[in-house]
Amino acid sequence: MDFFTVEFWLALLNIVFIDLILAGDNAIVIGMAARNLPQHQQKKAVLWGTAGAIGIRIIATVVVVQLLDLPWLHLAGGILLLWIAYKLLVQQEDSHNIKAGNTLWQSVQTIIIADAAMGIDNVIAVAGASHGNTLLVILGLLISVPVIVWGSTLFIKLINKFTWIVYIGSGVLAYTAAKMITHEKAFEDFFKDNPAIYWSFLAVIIVLVIALGLFTNTRTKQAVQEKSSESL
């Protein structure tokens, strides 16, 4: 993939968007980990914690990119990413039980460990979207992680106000997952030789994931409304 092609920049934009849509909780984690520190140390904790998180994300994603050359891992990664795309639409609010650090190093350590634990889905998605291009992985993370740290509070507010953003994000993940599946060596030639089937497969996967998410959310809302009406 050439640095000067439209394909490269579209893939980079896709990676940055995936990073943003999957990492909405990261700013909350960072804020909670550093909340007990004096104000002048909070910025240092965020800076060093973010630097460590970027380093771990890059290494982990590059490793996953290399592993995708193994048979059937594109298929497994694609199926897992489909689950992540669905989970993004139906995930429930949970309490972020993040222990605040009392020292700068404790806070930095907490940020890095929490980010590594929460970033597994992100690593898989970015690895699939990069199509084996390490430069795309590194550039995408260098662009998106600072944005997540300093701008994700605004991004979270946007998602809460405009819920359709989450559905677009889920659609992008479903698209990336479907492409990963079509790149599996056992199916790759079939999809290359049949472009109509290839594009139909991508479209069906995206529609199915979004429709399933909508269906689940509708059922959940109905159940909540019925429960609240019974308690009155």
CA distance 130 to 11: 7
Look at residue 193 in the predicted model and tell me its pLDDT. Answer: 93
pLDDT for position 102: 66
> For residue 220, what pLDDT is reported?
87
pLDDT value, residue 205: 96
For residue 34, what are its two tokens? 């550093």
pTM of the model: 0.70
- Predicted local confidence at residue 19, as pLDDT: 73
pLDDT of residue 91: 64
Q: What is the pLDDT of residue 26?
A: 61
Angle at 84 between CA 109 and CA 28, to 5 degrees: 35
User: Where are the domains positioned within the chain?
Assistant: 6-220
Q: State the pLDDT at residue 119.
A: 66
Query: Which regions of the chain are under pLDDT 50?
Result: 93-95, 152
pLDDT of residue 93: 46
CA–CA dist 40, 43 (Å, integer): 6
Cβ atoms within 10 Å of 152's Cβ, excluding its own: 23
Alpha-helical segments (H) within the chain? 6-22, 26-33, 39-67, 73-90, 104-118, 120-130, 134-161, 164-182, 185-193, 195-231
